[in-house]
């Protein structure tokens, strides 16, 4: 049986991870508005912005062009993923001093269950402090920590006082905290769902709470049930140390075969939007996009493309798909099925790193 005892969950999130590693390794970049990824000629997308750049409004996933408009003196540097992976490995080694129940969400983010910690410290707040101190002293980087009794609250808490923050949201504070929380901050509520909720008059947790479980299920399906419990602080999802999801894909078979390329692109766009929602729900982003096309005669082709950046928005994925599609010879072809898959996730790469036998090089 699962114990009814309150769990102790920590969410650790590195501050401006890629940019902070660059500033640590190259002193001339310290104190500067810096973008990792993108380029000064306006091409490409910013992967991470330093806090100095964020003051000007520069954000992750923003085009270089837009970033430059906001911050003329912005410096650009190329990402060094092998270094970030190595640092991620070092961070994980620090976590392991306290618990083996570690669920990485990306290279710079993880949940830890410290209900039973290896050193018998007993206080999740003390453990979070010790982890932050080790990351600072041993790796020269800062992290923010959120401490609570479930994953969702711990994750929100880590974001609350960034950078270098430590926020504890204890059981008695969970309900009032969730009531004042803007709806788009809730786990699993993406842009589309947030819009829908706002149109129903739901802007905060308090307003979400006014809806019955059945009503929410009726409007949002299975997620509705999840939202109902989440807003009451009931999130029992365990910290899962070994989840290895290698790819997430979505496909659609059409009642009548598609003949026009415009129609196919339209369907692909819809698939990308659905995929974005699935990725959002699983907090995933991947670098490889695969297009699958099954023709009316049941032959099929797949085409893949790997990007330098991790993708998780419909727009970015669709851009890759459009590119792949334009290279497929679609002349006089009739299509019965289209599929879009994303793979090469952050945490799969992390797993490879931690399981050397899986290494491909």
Interacting residue ranges for Mg ion, rule: CB under 5 A: 13-14, 17, 108
Q: Nearest distance from residue 170's CB to Mg ion, in Å?
A: 24
Q: Nearest distance from residue 158's CB to Mg ion, in Å?
A: 9
Q: Identify which of residues 106 and 348 has a Cβ nearer to Mg ion in the complex.
A: 106
Choose the catalytic residue: 52, 103, 109, 349. 109
Q: What is d(CA 245, CA 277) in angstroms, rounded to the nearest whole number?
A: 16
Give the number of other Cβ atoms within 10 Å of residue 194's Cβ.
Answer: 17
Q: Identify which of residues 48 and 344 has a Cβ nearer to Mg ion in the complex.
A: 48
Q: What is d(CA 229, CA 174) in angstroms, rounded to the nearest whole number?
A: 13
Say which residue the tokens 């590119």 belong to: 323
Specify the 3-state DSSP secondary structure of 52: helix
Q: Nearest distance from residue 206's CB to Mg ion, in Å?
A: 28
Distance of CA 64 to the CA centre of its chain: 21
Q: Identify which of residues 17 and 309 has a Cβ nearer to Mg ion in the complex.
A: 17
Q: Identify which of residues 231 and 311 has a Cβ nearer to Mg ion in the complex.
A: 311
Q: Are 142 and 163 in contact (CB under 8 A)?
A: yes
Q: Nearest distance from residue 255's CB to Mg ion, in Å?
A: 44
For residue 173, how many C-alpha atoms fall within 13 Å in the half-sphere facing its CB?
Answer: 12
Q: Are 180 and 202 in contact (CB under 8 A)?
A: no
Q: Nearest distance from residue 241's CB to Mg ion, in Å?
A: 20
**Residue 146, H or E segment:** strand 143-148
Residue 359 CB-density burial (10 A; 0-12 exposed, 13-18 middle, 19+ buried): exposed
Rounded to 5 degrees, what angle do the CA atoms 269, 274, 276 make? 95
Q: What is d(CA 96, CA 118) in angstroms, rounded to the nearest whole number?
A: 9
Q: Identify which of residues 162 and 219 has a Cβ nearer to Mg ion in the complex.
A: 162
Specify the 3-state DSSP secondary structure of 182: strand
Specify the 3-state DSSP secondary structure of 168: strand
Say which residue the tokens 């905060």 belong to: 204
Q: Nearest distance from residue 107's CB to Mg ion, in Å?
A: 9
Please give the annotated binding residues for Mg(2+), written as ranges: 13, 108
Question: Catalytic: 255?
Answer: no
Please give the annotated binding residues, written as ranges: 13, 108
Q: Identify which of residues 17 and 81 has a Cβ nearer to Mg ion in the complex.
A: 17
The b-or-e profile of 18-48 (16+ CB within 10 A means b, else e) is: bbbbbbeeeeebeebbbbbbbbeeeebbbbb
For residue 134, how many C-alpha atoms fall within 13 Å in the half-sphere facing its CB?
Answer: 18
Q: Which residues are catalytic?
A: 109
């Amino acid at each position: 049986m699962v114990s009814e005892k309150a769990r102790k969950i920590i969410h650790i999130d590195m501050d401006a991870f890629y940019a902070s590693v660059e500033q640590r390794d190259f002193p001339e970049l310290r104190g500067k508005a810096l973008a990792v990824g993108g380029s000064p000629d306006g091409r490409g997308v910013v992967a991470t912005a330093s806090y100095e750049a964020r003051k000007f409004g520069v954000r992750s996933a923003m085009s270089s062009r837009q970033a430059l408009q906001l911050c003329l003196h912005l410096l650009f540097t190329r990402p060094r993923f092998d270094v970030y992976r190595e640092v991620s490995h070092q961070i994980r080694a620090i976590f392991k001093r306290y618990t083996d129940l570690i669920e990485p969400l990306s290279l710079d983010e993880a949940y830890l269950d410290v209900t039973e910690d290896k050193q018998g410290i007993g206080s999740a707040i003390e453990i979070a402090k010790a982890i932050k101190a080790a990351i600072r002293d041993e790796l020269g980087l800062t992290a923010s920590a959120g401490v609570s009794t479930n994953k969702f609250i711990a994750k929100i808490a880590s974001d609350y006082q960034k950078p270098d923050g430590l926020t504890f949201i204890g059981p008695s504070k969970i309900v009032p905290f969730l009531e004042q929380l803007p709806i788009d901050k809730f786990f699993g509520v993406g842009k589309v769902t947030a819009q829908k909720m706002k149109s129903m008059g739901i802007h905060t947790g308090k307003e979400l709470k006014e809806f019955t479980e059945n009503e929410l299920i009726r409007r949002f399906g299975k997620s509705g049930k999840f939202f109902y419990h989440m807003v009451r602080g009931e999130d029992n999802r365990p910290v899962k140390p070994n989840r290895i999801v290698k790819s997430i894909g979505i496909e659609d078979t059409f009642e009548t075969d598609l003949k026009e390329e415009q129609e196919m692109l339209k369907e692909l766009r819809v698939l990308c939007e659905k995929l974005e929602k699935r990725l959002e729900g699983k907090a995933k982003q991947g670098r490889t996009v695969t297009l699958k096309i099954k023709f009316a005669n049941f032959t099929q082709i797949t085409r893949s493309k790997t990007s330098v950046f991790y993708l998780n928005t419909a727009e970015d994925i669709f851009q890759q798909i459009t590119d792949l599609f334009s290279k497929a010879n679609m002349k006089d072809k009739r299509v019965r099925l289209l599929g879009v898959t994303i793979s090469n996730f952050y945490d799969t790469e992390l797993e490879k790193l931690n399981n050397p036998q899986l290494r491909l090089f």
